[in-house]
Amino acid sequence: MNIKGIATLQYLYPDGHLEPVGPPMSNDIAWVNFRHFFIHTGEMSLPTKRDAASLLDSNSAKWQIFYGANDSKQSPLGGWYWADGTVEVQQDSPTYTDGALATDPDRFRLSAVIQAPSGAPRTIRCLGVSITNNGGVIVVTDFTSAYLTLLRLSTPCIQATNVAIVVTYDIYLYPALAISDHKVNSQLYTYLKTLLKRAANAVNSTNIQYGTYASRIQTSAYNLANLNSFSIAASTSDSPGHDHELTDHGGLVATPAQTFFGNAIRYVSSYGVNDFPVNGTFIKKTLLAGRGINSATQSEYNGAFTYTDPRPVNDTNPVQNVYPQRNNPVGPSNDLTVANVATMTGGLTFNISQWKDPNLQRLFRVRMTGTGAVGVATYQISKMDFIAGFVGNRWQGRTALMPQSFRTDGFFHKETNNKPYESWIKAGGTTYRSPDNDRLVLAADCTRTMAGVNVYNVVTGERTSLDSTVGLNVTAVSDGETTDQFYFITCANTGLWRVSLDFTTVEHITSPTGIDKAFQICRKNDVNQTIWVLFDGGLCKLSNPNAAIGSLSWSVHNPSTGSPTFTFAGLTDAWQNVTAMIIDPDNASDRFLFVISPLPSADTTGNFRRGYVWWDTTTGVATHPSTDGVYLSNLNSATDWSATNLLRLSDSIRCQNGIWVANASSESSYSTQTTIFNYASANLVACSLSDVSSKRPVPSIINGVSGFMLSGSSTDNQTASFVKNSTMSTIPNDTALSSASPYVDFMFRSGPSSYSANLETASVVAGNITTPLIYLPNSNFIFTYEDNVQGYGVTPFMLPPTHLNYNVYKGAFWKDYGWDGVNWVLNHAGSKTTSGSNETTAILDDLGILFTDGVSGTSFVANEFFTFVVGNGLFKDNGVNVYTSNLWISMDACKPVTQVGTVPLSALGLLTDEPVTFSPSNPSRSSTSVWDGVHTTYMQNKGAIYSAPKTSGNDSLLVSDQLIPASTAFDFRFKWHNVNVTSEGTLPEIGLATGNGTYTPSIRFLLNRANGTLDIYNNTTLLATIPSPSIEHECRIVRDGSNNIISYYNGVQQHAPVLITSRFVILANSDAGWTGAGWWDMKLTYTENRRVVRIGDLGTSTGSFNAKFSGLTTTPAAQDTRVLIGSGSPLAASLDYTASGVDLVATGQVKVATGAGWLIFHNDEPANPIDITTVCHFILNTQ
């Protein structure tokens, strides 16, 4: 975040002329408020521009300019000020202007007029920006009772009684800077700018409402840390229910327990043993998520503030629970049914030292094939791949929602060109093809409106956008296809392109027709992976698509070229009229069906039959179906039968093994007619399936069985079905397919769940495999469109053992391995003998396994097995009574730091002008309410601090990290942030104190806000009074070599020397008022007698040496600091977060001075190696 404000003031005289008050003045934003913009459990609001229509609206949401005569230090640490008045901004204010160049700032401008005072001139010393809420939905400043900005005029403005002041307040939002913490949403600054722009561009409006990014716990099965660009897929509701039970959002906590600490917030997820929807969920990352800034127009939740690991830092074992089982357990987890619990007493243990993370998860079964002890018993191994887990303890795979939402407010990290390039997905407006049938999916829009395509990796969750930024100069993408080496993309404006699978090579392929415009592309399933491209000028066959550009072999078919030639009026004289080209990929001949628009002679008879054209290379004959075509829903006339409408359905007709399947549904409507026909059929609707609204049939081969995936029912939320090709040709006309139909081999979801007795007919919002787009046989994953969450899903195909066709398809999801004497081989009948020694196993991703005998009974029994999940994350099964996961965030910019070194043997010694920093007297102060002021206990930055804790006593005390030894000289200097009188009558103070945990004030400066005096006390004895203090004048407390202490103000001694030899801390207390108190330019020259390690590096300005450093995490509860002492098997130090006055009592203890970023060691600690991990906090705004 990089924001700068500039205010320009002009006197407005009665005659209308303007005169500058002075030069424009820069200001700091109040970071304490801006950091709160997206952290809340509910909706928030922001005032909008008041135009002529909305100016008279009585709604209380307003942009305002405040002003006052009181002086205040300008700083991003504070926005608290006792103002004299406020004025509303003028009509049609604020405005927003984008920067002219990418490097230029955007400008948010507010304009207001401070009317002339009455009776006497007015002094204006400070002014700034204020906002008010709409009377119901809070604004960001409600959290702190502070202003958005605070500007101090270098010279006070004197406003005469007949002169108004015109204020032009510009807030410049500079381009985003690199964010320190990869786990924090890097787009929040962009979203802030978007909100300000919306507020300025609103019409007839008083306020806008927006969602935050930190209101709920959400989970993902993807390792988000590996993604340079991702956007969080939406959730559909706050209520844990069926849409979460089927997806990796199963760990949803709608209202997590939220606890505020000094500079951190804790959110808690707690899952019981049989809790749904979480049971069966595999969690790689836990996210603090929210609704997103588009929530006013979007019902789904979207976007996140941060993410973390669900397991503790040092809990890295990829194997969690192991279940000895037999027979047919109901699911992959713990099954206590007596008949399903193994009788064997032996055990299985693991060595994880060589394990390699495959980026997905695996369920393994080590099945005993021979009975006996270790060395006698034999075994085989089976594995099942998945990503998101299972639906409870059932053989039902969960859907992993890819972290690539289509919503623009869901981005967490964003590469410049990363964006969704797909449209009309359900109807067939985007083509989906895979080059490897394993992980990669090309999504190429067919509507000729997109300037790029996307490639998705279903295992990693990655989206790679290919467009002009990578050299793919397409402006009207029309189709896409793949070979095992390339992605092929056609563009209606620039022709044919191909991209290597690793994206390093982007090539333009010149059209053999001489015209670089390409409209359709399809591929044969032959050994050469032959590709056909419909260029402007001809239908072209590329027989060697993987060859080098200079060696490509083309043949062209058009009215004058090719054998045979290709001639058909309305098609070969206007190639752009083709909106779909479907080839039979499995026939030795080249057989095509074309869909064209406009209709010849606008003929709509016969279900638009003249919109279809058959042609093949054997006969060379092109013809319309003679009887009927396929009627398309909502296309009721020749006008509707347009290229625009038909391109949205371009991939909705598919062919496999001579069977053509088409559907009549458009994106926004449903037809209950899916038609089946063969090549050159005269009547394309002679065989229709009724009551099946499969928007786009998808040919698939599952465990060697060819068939079609047919989308769900007309509610669009019911599960898809699979009908094999051999059945397709036998289905009678007007057959209604259902889960009970003998023509359906299986439904993709089946059986009961915790909310539905029958998933086959349940309407499920997400994860019900409603709209399958492609099946990847090599990984057994189904790639689906998840309409309600505006993204994609990835689900393993599987059937329960009770399914009639289980054995037919089992090989797709269970991979059985046997031992051939040397290696584990798929589908081999051999077994391996158990061993008590570690054996690194390749099919277990180099996980080591070893067997141990039981103490009694039979150690291993044939046909019994061990079941366990292996993956980098948390598999929440039913084997743990309660699992609790803490997610910690900070509103500061944070950066994890690691540091190695040695325990220092000497103290820091004499420090000159050391910035004075503070830690809270009560580091564990917390509250579940944002209104209690815990998060504003203090904000500091290397010698400057502001504190507004809204409490008094020990909870408001701040203790310096620096400790002044007894009988030593020191020089402490500081200035006050503000010294004005307020009606609160509080008594903020700062100065010396003695004590060891409980402190007794000594010589200190105390501000009496009731009368504005600055008093100097020694304990309870008044030493001096300063009647009219200034924030520019330095306060000073000095002890000389004779232990005499003297206080100074503005260089003037204020009292006689006081002899005190005590050890001191500096104690600051802002008292309980809402305005708080602050101090700046705090410096201490003294002798530091403790052995200190400073976090960070001076040479690189990292950690505590960074100019923006604000401290370490203040509370020990976060457990984000660790110090290991020693080598080999180092000792984890006991960390002490008590303030500096509390001494360490033993070696092995380390005091964490959070404000300074110091680690303080016991004086007797040996000089051993140390290994440090911690988290540094920074003031984010940079000017």
Phi and psi dihedrals of 32, rounded to 5?
Answer: -60, -25
- Measured between alpha carbons, how far is residue 312 from residues 250, 253, 880 in Å? 20, 19, 16
Residues 982-1001, mean pLDDT to the nearest whole number: 93
How many whole angstroms separate alpha carbon 735 and alpha carbon 737? Answer: 6
Q: What is the pLDDT of residue 400?
A: 97
How many whole angstroms separate alpha carbon 252 and alpha carbon 878? Answer: 17
The least confident of 256-270, 287-301, 595-609 is 287-301
Residues 539-568, mean pLDDT to the nearest whole number: 98
Q: What is the pLDDT of residue 240?
A: 58
Ordered strands of the 347-351 beta sheet = 347-351, 847-852, 839-841
How many whole angstroms separate alpha carbon 674 and alpha carbon 653? Answer: 10
Cβ burial 539-558 (10 Å sphere, 16+ → b, else e): bbbbbebeeeeeebebbbbb
Residues 287-293, mean pLDDT to the nearest whole number: 89
Query: Alpha helix locations (H) across 174-293?
Result: 188-201, 242-245
pLDDT digits (tens, 9 = 90+) for 1099-1111: 999 999 999 999 9
Residue 725 DSSP SS3: helix
How many whole angstroms separate alpha carbon 515 and alpha carbon 527? Answer: 29
Q: Is the model's pLDDT at 755 over the cut of 80?
A: no
How many whole angstroms separate alpha carbon 794 and alpha carbon 816? Answer: 23
The answer for residues whose C-beta is within 8 angstroms of residue 300's C-beta and 6 or more apart is 234, 235, 236, 407, 788, 789, 790
Residue 789 binned pLDDT confidence (cut-offs 50, 70, 90)? confident
Q: What is the pLDDT of residue 178?
A: 65
Range list for CATH 2.130.10 in the chain: 411-789
Residue with token string 């900070």 = 890
For Cα atoms 781, 365, 872, give the angle at the middle one, nearest 5 degrees. Answer: 60
For Cα atoms 873, 753, 701, give the angle at the middle one, nearest 5 degrees. Answer: 75
- Using alpha carbons, select from 1093, 1088, 713 the residue that is nearest to residue 912: 1088
Helices (H) and strands (E) in the chain, counts: 7, 86
How many whole angstroms separate alpha carbon 418 and alpha carbon 461? Answer: 13
Range list for CATH 2.60.120.920 in the chain: 909-923+933-1082
Q: Are 850 and 399 in contact (CB under 8 A)?
A: no
pLDDT digits (tens, 9 = 90+) for 674-707: 899 999 999 999 998 875 556 789 999 999 999 9
Residue with token string 């006792």 = 82
How many whole angstroms separate alpha carbon 288 and alpha carbon 224? Answer: 13
Q: Are 890 and 31 in contact (CB under 8 A)?
A: no
The DSSP call for residue 1118 is: G
Cβ burial 150-177 (10 Å sphere, 16+ → b, else e): bbbbeeebebeeebbbbbebbbbbbeee
Q: Is the model's pLDDT at 242 over the cut of 70?
A: no
Residues 78-95, mean pLDDT to the nearest whole number: 95
Q: Is the model's pLDDT at 294 over the cut of 90?
A: no
How many whole angstroms separate alpha carbon 1071 and alpha carbon 1052? Answer: 27
How many whole angstroms separate alpha carbon 1084 and alpha carbon 446? Answer: 69
How many whole angstroms separate alpha carbon 1159 and alpha carbon 1161? Answer: 7
Q: What percent of the chain has pLDDT over 70?
A: 97
- Measured between alpha carbons, how far is residue 149 from residues 49, 96, 130, 849, 1145 in Å? 18, 17, 7, 62, 46
CA dihedral for 750, 751, 756, 760, sign (positive or negative): positive
What is the rounded average pLDDT for all residues in the chain? 93
Q: Is the model's pLDDT at 1183 over the cut of 80?
A: no
Q: Are 607 and 628 in contact (CB under 8 A)?
A: yes
Q: What is the pLDDT of residue 918?
A: 98
Q: Is the model's pLDDT at 1146 over the cut of 50?
A: yes
Overall CATH class of domain 909-923+933-1082: mainly beta
pLDDT digits (tens, 9 = 90+) for 963-991: 999 999 999 999 999 999 988 889 999 99
Q: Where are the beta strands (DSSP E) in 512-589?
A: 518-523, 531-535, 538-542, 554-557, 578-583
More confident residue, 485 or 307: 485
- CATH number for domain 411-789, candidates 3.30.420, 2.130.10, 2.60.200, 1.20.1250: 2.130.10
The least confident of 375-379, 600-604, 632-636, 916-920 is 632-636
HEC readout, 94-162: CEEECCCCCCCCEEEEEEEEECCCCCCCEEEEEEEEEEECCCCCCCHHHHCCCCCEEEEEEEEEEECCC
pLDDT digits (tens, 9 = 90+) for 164-211: 999 999 999 998 766 656 788 888 889 999 999 999 999 999 999 998
Q: Are 796 and 780 in contact (CB under 8 A)?
A: yes
Cβ burial 27-61 (10 Å sphere, 16+ → b, else e): bbbbbbbbbbbbbbeebbbbbbbbeeebeeeebeb
Residues 54-66, mean pLDDT to the nearest whole number: 95
CA dihedral for 436, 440, 446, 451, sign (positive or negative): negative
More confident residue, 835 or 302: 835
How many whole angstroms separate alpha carbon 607 and alpha carbon 630? Answer: 6
Q: What is the pLDDT of residue 666?
A: 65
Residue 262 DSSP SS3: coil
Residue 630 binned pLDDT confidence (cut-offs 50, 70, 90)? confident
Residue 346 DSSP SS3: coil
Residue 940 DSSP SS3: strand
Phi and psi dihedrals of 676, rounded to 5?
Answer: -125, 130
